[in-house]
């Protein structure tokens, strides 16, 4: 919603930077139309039970403030929740791409809460490398046991590749497993059919 309002140059109507003009002001009708339009967008995007509680608000800013106060989480609480989800994130039966996408979304959201570091370039570079290595470890730890071989191979690399390269290597391994599985599924019925044909062709000794 924040992104959409910004793209339409209407963010000021909810953050309070665009104030309502006097009803006697010729520009009041313009503000009223814009306010009603944004208010309509917000109300139509809400669950009916929530919308009913803010239905009679006169301004988009009032609804925005109400919703923010009721549902927003504190920064530290959300950071804790994200870190917990990262720790618990496992591939399970998901494909590598789906698993990696979910984990990357958590990493990106966590990064959005972090304040930029003010330090020398060398120190910032070392910190970025350490965080990248931590992400690689998190990704590898969540993989299913099917990928234990490629996981071991990656951990033996020096230096350790970044998450994008690791994702590519594991994805390639997944595709190889799929090709092998399809080949085995094609070969097995053929072998069974050949075996039955050989038995049928053998003359009875009775």
Task: With cut-offs at 50, 70 and 90, classify the pLDDT of residue 68.
Answer: confident
Q: Where are the extended beta strands (E) located within the chain? A: none
What SS3 string covers 186-198?
A: HHHHHHHHHHHHH
Query: Which pLDDT belongs to residue 206?
Result: 47
Residue 166 and residue 103 in contact, taking contact as beta carbons nearer than 8 Å: no
Average pLDDT, whole number, for the chain?
85
Q: For residue 10, with 0-12 CB atoms within 10 Å meaning exposed, 13-18 middle and 19 or more buried, which class applies?
A: middle
Query: Which pLDDT belongs to residue 88?
Result: 95
Query: Which pLDDT belongs to residue 201?
Result: 55
Task: With cut-offs at 50, 70 and 90, classify the pLDDT of residue 41.
Answer: very high
Task: With cut-offs at 50, 70 and 90, classify the pLDDT of residue 112.
Answer: confident
Q: Which residues contact 205 (CB under 8 A, 6 or more apart)?
A: none
Q: Is the pLDDT of residue 95 over 90?
A: yes
- Residue 16 φ then ψ, to 5°: 90, 0
Per-residue pLDDT tens for 134-169? 999 999 999 999 999 999 999 999 999 999 999 999
Residue keyed to tokens 């990248």: 132
Task: With cut-offs at 50, 70 and 90, classify the pLDDT of residue 184.
Answer: low
Strand, coil or helix: 57:
coil
- CA nearest neighbour of 65 among 16, 131, 102: 16
Q: Is the pLDDT of residue 191 over 60?
A: no
- CA nearest neighbour of 169 among 157, 179, 181, 184: 157
What percentage of residues in the chain have a pLDDT greater than 90?
Answer: 51
In the chain, the largest separation of any two C-alpha atoms, in whole Å, equals 112
Query: Which pLDDT belongs to residue 20?
Result: 82
Q: Is the pLDDT of residue 185 over 70?
A: no
Give whichever of 13-17, 60-64, 114-118 has the largest mean pLDDT: 60-64
Query: Which pLDDT belongs to residue 37?
Result: 93
User: What is the rounded distance in angstroms from the CA atom of residue 86 to the CA atom of residue 138?
Assistant: 8
């Amino acid at each position: 919603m924040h992104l959409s309002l910004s793209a339409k140059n209407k963010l000021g109507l909810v953050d309070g930077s665009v104030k309502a003009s006097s009803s006697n002001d010729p520009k009041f009708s313009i503000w009223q139309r814009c306010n009603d339009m944004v208010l309509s967008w917000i109300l139509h995007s809400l669950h009916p039970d929530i919308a009913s509680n803010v239905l009679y608000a006169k301004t988009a800013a009032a609804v925005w403030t109400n919703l923010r106060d009721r549902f927003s989480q504190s920064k530290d609480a959300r950071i804790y929740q994200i870190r917990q989800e990262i720790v618990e994130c496992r591939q399970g039966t998901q494909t590598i791409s789906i698993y990696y996408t979910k984990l990357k979304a958590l990493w990106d959201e966590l990064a959005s809460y972090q304040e930029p570091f003010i330090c020398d370039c060398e120190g910032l570079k070392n910190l970025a490398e350490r965080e990248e290595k931590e992400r690689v470890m998190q990704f590898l730890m969540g993989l299913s046991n099917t990928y234990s071989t490629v996981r071991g191979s990656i951990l033996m690399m020096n230096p350790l590749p970044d998450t994008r390269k690791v994702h590519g290597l594991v994805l390639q391994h997944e595709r190889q497993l799929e090709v092998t599985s399809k080949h085995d599924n094609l070969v097995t019925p053929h072998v069974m059919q050949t075996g039955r044909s050989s038995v049928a062709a053998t003359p009875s000794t009775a």
